[in-house]
Chain A
Amino acid sequence: MNKKDAIIKIEHVYKYFGQFLALEDINLDVFKQEKIVIIGPSGSGKSTLLRTINQLEKVTSGKIIVDGVDVTEPGVDLNKIRTSLGMVFQSFNLFPHKTVLENLTLAPIKLKKLSKEEAEEIALNLLDKVGIKDKANNYPKQLSGGQQQRVAIARALAMNPKIMLFDEPTSALDPEMIGEVLDVMKDLAKEGMTMVVVSHEMGFAREVADRVVFMDSGKIVEVGTPEHFFKNPIHPRTKQFLSQIL
């Protein structure tokens, strides 16, 4: 892939939480339509890295260029950039006071100034796609965890983002519900969405990822294709991690 196609460019990013160095000299390019899966032990900084991309987490130094805009620049219109960066959280974070349909239409109506009818049409199509159209008028608390996470994915997609960020989307789910969420993510991958996924789901990484990024202690230790990564990891820390979880 051509370097020009990088839709996210992360350059020399450092992040301190007080004295603690959470990210150390991170460099990573994500190309259009690429699927990146970030793995690593807990506390390795993978969620922090993901959250710097849409600036839910500010960086201490370094640059992050998303679709041509340096998001670390002071005064940049983050709200506008975030509309093209969908994010899915571990704990779903659906709006409990709104119905499923309203969760999907709130941002398009208020931010994209769509009419209620237009927004609802898009929302219902998306709910159909993630397989929960029949729950459109329910409140999030009436749904199972897997259903809530699928709504959360649909809510992010309703803004028609260019990139989707997933922060451990299946970690809070009961085992039998993980599959339904991963299936939705796989469909999304097939449609060519650019995706950055923090996950412990090795099966998903193997099947969907173009590249796997392994992080440890705030550093990127190894980057490679799934075949390289799971069959012939180079770094001893990667080998150790994989032997522990596989």
Chain B
Amino acid sequence: MDEKKTPEVKIEVTDGAAIPIEKDEGLFTAWRIAFFGSIGIIIALCVFKPDPYLEILKFVPDGVVVTFEVTIISIVLSFFVGLLTGLGRISKNRAINLIASTYVEVIRGIPLLVQLFYIYYAVGSFTRIPPFFAAILAMTICYGAYMGEVFRAGIESIDKGQTEAAMSLGFNKRQTMLYVILPQAMRTILPPVGNEFIALLKDTSLVSIIAVADLLRRGREYATSTFHYFETFTMIALIYLVITLLLSKCVSYMEKRLTPYE
């Protein structure tokens, strides 16, 4: 029970979104090869074959903006939905617990694309939902459930002694959660939450199917009007890769900054 035995909890909940592990800070890391490699290829393509590559690069920025909008709004909303869901999942109130647990079970069992269709087309057949709004709603509902599980695991990973210490000082349950448990849980869950964010960013490409003009949609518009399929989707893939790698860098930077109390 002394400090040596304090468990170092690390939760791995990921769908394969990669945060490169940089053990040795050599010149060649997987992240640098992928990041600078893809930027180099984009530049080279635009310089040596500006038609169509530079044309494509000029055509898609609106789409990048939309992808960012959907991603950031969905991340913020699903973070709070996830926090509430996680708290609900550990609640001793049976009704709240059941609602949160059922939400997680149901949503995790339905593919995101189906949820997207369901909100846009099925629910949309009763009441008209703008595509952008439907996209954010679907992303938030889906990732809120995933994030809820991450939060639950993070909260449960905090030693029971912390709760007991806080309660014995006179804190109620809400204060204990707010001042003692959540600040510690945030550190534990940052890596898996970061992975969820990256997965969410990539999954926003699905919203192109319901007429949201995101990066992928803009690419398809360009490709179908010019028949440059190979060139267009090469550029689209490279742009997604650059954005994803940047986000993963942000996440690992935040992770490093958030561990001062060791």
Contacts and interface: CB of A to CB of B under 8 A. Distances in A.
Given A89-B161, A97-B187, A141-B3, A111 B167 contact: no
A139 interface: yes
Contact of B164 (A56, A97, A107): A56
Contacts of A96: 6, 184, 261
B93 interface: no
A85 B168 contact: yes
Contacts of A139: 260-262
Interface residues of A, number: 34
26 contacts: A56-B164, A56-B168, A79-B170, A82-B167, A82-B169, A82-B170, A83-B169, A86-B168, A91-B2, A91-B159, A93-B159, A93-B161, A93-B164, A96-B6, A96-B261, A97-B183, A97-B187, A107-B170, A107-B171, A111-B170, A111-B171, A111-B175, A140-B261, A141-B261, A159-B169, A159-B170
Interface of B: 1-3, 6, 159, 161-162, 164-172, 175, 179-180, 183-184, 187, 260-262
Given A96-B184, A145-B3, A107 B161 contact: no
Contacts of B167: 56, 79, 82
Contacts of B169: 82-83, 106-107, 111, 155-156, 159
A56 B176 CA distance: 14
A95 interface: yes
Contact of A110 (B1, B175, B260): B175
Contacts of B170: 79-80, 82-83, 107, 111, 159
B262 A141 contact: yes
B168 A87 contact: yes
B179 A110 contact: yes
Contacts of A82: 167-170
Residue among B1, B159, B180 with max Cβ neighbours from chain A (10 Å) = B1
Interface in A140-169: 140-141, 145, 148, 152, 155-156, 159
Contacts of B187: 97
A152 B170 CA distance: 15
Contacts of B2: 91, 145, 172-174
Contacts of B3: 141, 145, 148
Contacts of B161: 89, 91, 93
A85 B260 CA distance: 32
B12 to A, nearest CB: 22
